[in-house]
Structure 1
């Protein structure tokens, strides 16, 4: 639906004018960061709506912009939603773009300049491609998916706001072009302090109304990042209970029917979750008896490291940790003053308990506590959504807890606790960043050691 909304908006406002051929399916797939199947589905919807005509060999716009009769319901987002997204993502996107610039060599910087050489009528696409190129340098599909998802979600409303004054819109993008070229120049000179400052300033200057408009305290954005697989969520809840001692090692889990009732998922979803847990070495199925919770020695031997679902989930975990390492400082420092005083004591206790366990899961458990504080304290619904999603993904590092050595956490735990005790956002964010970086390197090494070679492509600066 997001891809359809993007293309429909371009056609409706004349950016893809009548008689003009649309970009190829492959080109749209690259530009929008979606599969060719998704693009094909959107094109079929546009053909049914008589906006375009053609076949697999090429499609042409047939919609007459002079005969506008309003965009279909649901295409445009509410203004308050986009203000929340704009302000919340100011904590997430600039650090990611900065990290991308830091990874660029001279050839990459040449490529970025060539992207900006496209004609003025395609200036928004050039900017999208420019920023996506930077994100691609992190080699993290999770981050790229978030960028494209939020871009597609906000694009129709953004264009609708600009439509009243297309000339101003083009001028705005041309000014942005000049700033992006200046960023490339700063990266060539390795003046990264100035580059970071310019990135942050440009983000807020791009849309001052969205950047400065106050939000309602009770606002809850309908924006959701992706569609979670329910069996994954059910499996994650069971893993957390195992890790917390709710389901002790050597005991049987409740029956699938009982788990289904307790967790609130359908029976088939719960059974799929139990199958996933068997692949992760968390449990093993005993015929006629149920699922036995495994300890580290047997669990490690039973992890199906080469099974696609296991590899995919563990890679998602590492991608989430990388994203937290890149953005966590910015988010934590900004949100920390908004955290309610009553939340700190429980967090302090939980971090101390996590650290005392002395294994791989201690770090991810401590990170989860930090994310709980951030999610609870953030004034931005969009930040809650993104960090809530990352917290869900963090549980998939569980099988790595079977593999020594375990990372040294003491100094970072001390920073977190000092930050909580002294109400110091800097100390807290230092500790969170240190934890994320430590667990990232430890996890990556373990994943490569068990044959998940893709993990080796992810890096931190």
Structure 2
């Protein structure tokens, strides 16, 4: 993860939790800023920012003579109350999140480790042998997922770490659950060195299944069920910081264009009408239309209005040199990679009843009826975002799907409707046949195959358009 503010938040959050949970007590010394910088693989300035926040909150004292020490004094009873309050308010979200980890990170971590160079495996093994399991795990996460070069995935990994893994590992007694599991990281690196990719996947899955088992056991052993109380949900945003309103509105309008609500050649409503409809200012609509012009979705004509462009016109009119457009297209392909790496398992998990099979079949039959085969991936992922049994999966997929609209200017370069249909019709027929046979595993494999083809083709296209950094986002044809 390269965003310094996010790294600062990670360090601040887990040190705060460790203090509240008693991992550091009153008067205990924290690592120096220099030590923390080396241990956590982050810059000195990032650590200093986190420590200053802790100081401002009254949690630590910074002194040149004695170093960084814990200032707040929690009794054993207060620490226990802190733990009970934290886990009581997050029970539903944590149990759901822990069960989602294998679906979200199993294939992703497998690919990350499969592509790591030997020197990175050496570092993983060094970290795995450290006595401080909490610290070594945080460093391993950063090293592993950095190898994917997907900032969007890294932000999801760290959000999961801050919400679940960091607090859980901050309770010393919880280390026992992972000691029982042996040393899974060494099992994984061993498989990598032998190029045993099947064994690596099994080792990754075994490790990720420890978390839901450990959390359930923790609740059963440590926390007495309490009366129903307001719950804190797990949340994740696809952007590094809250997006400006004009970006949200741009995505909304792009969605309307993709669904045919504003067909090519038609004009968007006037500034005033859009402002009233969206309940925003006219200046916000102007900024929104500027973005849509830059991305090639519309062409503003003085005295006439904003005309929706054909797909081939969109690609011709998109200004691929604009930093904002380049960043949004990067968001698009990173979200597509995450969907590709997770769709097989999330699709299988969504087949929870005969009714879900029927609904998915109806969806694909409607795609065949309308002849818009290019929507197979988006509509299938949208189905998962609405029907997956785990709330975490539904939330993450909803965020990722919003980012897919930024790929609008690439659609015209991909080809015309006839090209789409010729390539995708065989895949659509296979998907429908799988549903007829109620073969959820084969369906999920086919959906993954379509997504891989789309991702790799898009990466090649963006590379030709001057985005060489996306080469690293390609994935093997068979995951």
Q: TM-score range by the shorter chain?
A: 0.7 to 0.9
Q: Give 2:318's match in structure 1, choosing from 282, 303, 319.
A: 303
Q: Give 1:385's match in structure 2, choosing from 382, 385, 395.
A: 395
Q: Which residue of 1 aligns with 2:33?
A: 24
Q: Which residue of 2 aligns with 1:50?
A: 58
Asked if 1:199 is matched to 2:204, the reply is yes
Label 1:345 to 1:97 Cα distance change in 2 as closer, same or farther (>3 A): closer
Shift of 1:3: 5.0
Asked if 1:351 is matched to 2:359, the reply is no
Q: Give 2:185's match in structure 1, choosing from 180, 183, 195.
A: 180
Shift of 1:238: 0.9
- Contact 1:127/1:177 (<8 A) preserved: no
Shift of 1:304: 1.1
Determine the C-alpha separation between the residues in 1 that align with 2:210 and 2:235: 26
Label 1:81 to 1:401 Cα distance change in 2 as closer, same or farther (>3 A): same
Asked if 1:146 is matched to 2:156, the reply is yes
Q: Which residue of 2 aligns with 1:5?
A: 13
Q: Give 1:95's match in structure 2, choosing from 103, 107, 112.
A: 107
Give TM-score scaled by structure 2 length.
0.81
Q: Which shows bigger deviation, 328-337 or 4-13?
A: 4-13
Shift of 1:287: 2.6
Shift of 1:318: 0.8
Determine the C-alpha separation between the residues in 2 that align with 1:90 and 1:128: 18
Give TM-score scaled by structure 1 length.
0.84
Q: Which residue of 1 aligns with 2:258?
A: 243
Determine the C-alpha separation between the residues in 2 that align with 1:382 and 1:92: 9
Q: Which residue of 2 aligns with 1:376?
A: 386
CA RMSD of aligned residues (A): 3.4
User: SS of the counterpart of 2:286?
Assistant: helix
Structure 2: 5+ residue runs without aligned partners? Answer: 1-8, 221-229
1:102-121 to structure 2, matched below 5 A, reads 102-118=114-130, 120=131
Label 1:186 to 1:298 Cα distance change in 2 as closer, same or farther (>3 A): closer
Asked if 1:257 is matched to 2:257, the reply is no
- Contact 2:134/2:169 (<8 A) preserved: no
Alignment deviations for residues 92-148 of structure 1 (CA, whole Å, 9 cap, x no partner)? 112111112221232222121112233x2x211211221332222222111111000
Asked if 1:422 is matched to 2:430, the reply is no
Determine the C-alpha separation between the residues in 2 that align with 1:346 and 1:443: 28
Label 1:291 to 1:78 Cα distance change in 2 as closer, same or farther (>3 A): same
Shift of 1:398: 1.0
User: SS of the counterpart of 1:291?
Assistant: strand
Label 1:370 to 1:287 Cα distance change in 2 as closer, same or farther (>3 A): same
Q: Which residue of 2 aligns with 1:130?
A: 140
User: SS of the counterpart of 2:62?
Assistant: strand
Q: Which residue of 2 aligns with 1:280?
A: 295
Shift of 1:353: 5.3
Q: Give 1:313's match in structure 2, choosing from 319, 328, 345.
A: 328
Structure 1: 5+ residue runs without aligned partners? Answer: none
Label 1:421 to 1:381 Cα distance change in 2 as closer, same or farther (>3 A): same
Shift of 1:211: 5.8
- Contact 1:20/1:61 (<8 A) preserved: yes
Label 1:173 to 1:141 Cα distance change in 2 as closer, same or farther (>3 A): same
Determine the C-alpha separation between the residues in 2 that align with 1:255 and 1:349: 36
Shift of 1:201: 2.3
Determine the C-alpha separation between the residues in 2 that align with 1:318 and 1:388: 16
Q: Which residue of 2 aligns with 1:82?
A: 94
Shift of 1:301: 2.5
Determine the C-alpha separation between the residues in 2 that align with 1:366 and 1:417: 11
User: SS of the counterpart of 1:91?
Assistant: helix
Shift of 1:177: 6.0
Asked if 1:442 is matched to 2:457, the reply is yes
- Contact 2:29/2:68 (<8 A) preserved: yes
